[in-house]
Amino acid sequence: MSEGQSANDFAPAESTLQPFARGDVFIGATLLNDPDDDHAGRGRILQFDADLKLRGVLWIEDTTHLIGGLTFGPDNTLWAFDNFAWLVVRVKPDGRLLPTKKFADRPFGSVQFLDDGHFVLIEYLKGSAQPEQLTTRYPYLPDDPASVGHGEIYEYDAGENLVRKFVPEVHGGVSGSMGATHTTLASDGHTLVYTSETGPRLMRFDLRAGAQLSDLMTLPEAPPGAPPAMMFDVEHLEDDRLVLPLGTRVTVLRESGEEVASFPLEGFGWALVAPGLNGETAYAANWFTGEVVKLSLADGDILARVTIAPKCLAGIVQFH
C-alpha cells in the first residue's frame, strides 16, 4: 500500500464516493471473493486524488465480476462495464450511482462518444473459447448458445436507440476469445483504435465509413526467454499521440505509428493506462501486483504509487 493507505481503507462498510474533482483518478477494482471464480466479486470503484491518495469508494451491488472500461461521457458521467453480467455502470459527477443498464445481451467492455451525439458500445469477447488458465467462465449468449460474444460494435443515437452495427477485425488474444477489448478514438474523432488483449496487433476501424483500416502496428515476437509481446490497453493523449502499456513498459506513439518514447516499469503485467492532465503524465496499473503508478511522460519518473490488490484492476481513468 502507499503510505497511510491499507486494504481496510479500500473496503469501508458503506460507499464513500465524493463529487468528482478535476484530477481525480477512478479505478475499477472489484473485491474478489469467490474461490471458484477468479474474476468474480463485489463491484467496486475506487476514487483517488491526482497523487493516488484515496478519496472515496463506490460499492456496486448489481455487478458480478470485474469492472472495467472506465470512461467519461460528454456530460462528465462516468461509464464502466461488467462484461460478464452484460451491465453498464454509470455514475454522475455528484457521485450518484445510476441504475445499472443492460443495452443488450452482449459482453460490452467499452464505450466511445462521437461528435454527432451518438456513441458506440464495443463487445469485449468474440467466439466460443473459454480461458484455459483461469477458473472464471464467460457466459454464453442466449441467442447463440455456442458463443460468448460476436465482437461487434453497436452504434446508438443520443436517445439510446440502436442505429447500426459493425463487425471489426479482432485478434482473439491468447485465449482466442478476446474481441476489441480496449478502445480509444483517434484525433479525427471517428477512427477507433483498439486491441485484443494479449494479442500483438494495434488495430483501427473507421466508424464513419464502417470500414476496417490497416493496423497501426504489430508487435514483433519476443526473443527467447523474454516476456511475450502483448498489447493491452490503449488511450489517446492530447494532439496525435497514443499511450499503451506493453506488459513491461509504457510506450507513447504518434497516430502514424512512430514511437515517441518508451518507459520501462518493474516486473511484468502492466496492462492498464490512463492519460493524465495536459498530456504530461499517465497512470499505469499492473494486473498481477495491483500496483498503480503515476509517471511523467517526459522522463518516466514515478511521481506517485499505490498498491490495491492483485488481479482485480480492470479499468482506470482520470477526470479532466
Q: Which three cell numbers stand for residue 146?
A: 455456442
Q: What are 165-179's pLDDT values in tens digits?
A: 999 999 999 999 999
Tens of pLDDT, residues 190-205? 999 999 999 999 999 9
Question: Considering only CA atoms, which of 291, 284, 282, 293 is closest in space to residue 311?
Answer: 291
Please say if the pLDDT value at position 67 is more than 80. Answer: yes
Asked if CATH classification 2.130.10.10 holds for the domain at 25-318, the reply, yes or no, is yes
pLDDT value, residue 4: 66
- The DSSP bridge partners found for residue 113 are 119
Print burial letters for 250-289: b (CB count within 10 Å at least 16), e (below 16).
bbbbebeeeeeeebebeebbbbbbbbbeeeebbbbbbbeb
In tens, the pLDDT along 112-157 reads 999 999 999 999 999 999 999 999 999 999 999 999 999 999 999 9
Q: Mean pLDDT over all residues of the chain?
A: 97
Q: From residue 66, how far is each of 188, 253, 280 by CA, in Å?
A: 31, 28, 29
Beta-bridge mates of residue 292: 285, 306
Going by pLDDT thresholds of 50, 70 and 90, the confidence category of residue 7 is: confident
DSSP state of 97: B
- Cα distances from 184 to residues 70, 273, 303, in angstroms, run 11, 12, 25
Stretch 42-61: mean pLDDT: 99
Does this model's pTM top 0.95? My answer is yes
- At 228 the pLDDT is 78
What's the mean pLDDT in 34-48? 98
pLDDT score, position 223 = 86
Q: Looking at the DSSP assignment, which residues form a beta bridge with residue 286?
A: 270
SS3 breakdown of the chain: % helix, strand, coil, rounded to 5? Answer: 0, 45, 55
Helices first, then strands: H and E counts in the chain? 0, 26
Give me the pLDDT at residue 227, please.
75
Q: What is the pLDDT of residue 100?
A: 98
Percent of the chain with pLDDT over 70: 99
DSSP states of 135-153 as a string? S--PPPBTTBTT-SEE--E
Is the pLDDT at 246 greater than 60? The verdict is yes
2 pLDDT band (50/70/90 cuts)?
A: low
**In the prediction, which pLDDT does 3 show?**
56
Amino acid at 196: S
- The whole-number pLDDT of residue 1 equals 44
pLDDT (tens digit, 9 = 90+) per residue, 203-237? 999 999 999 999 999 999 888 888 778 999 999 99
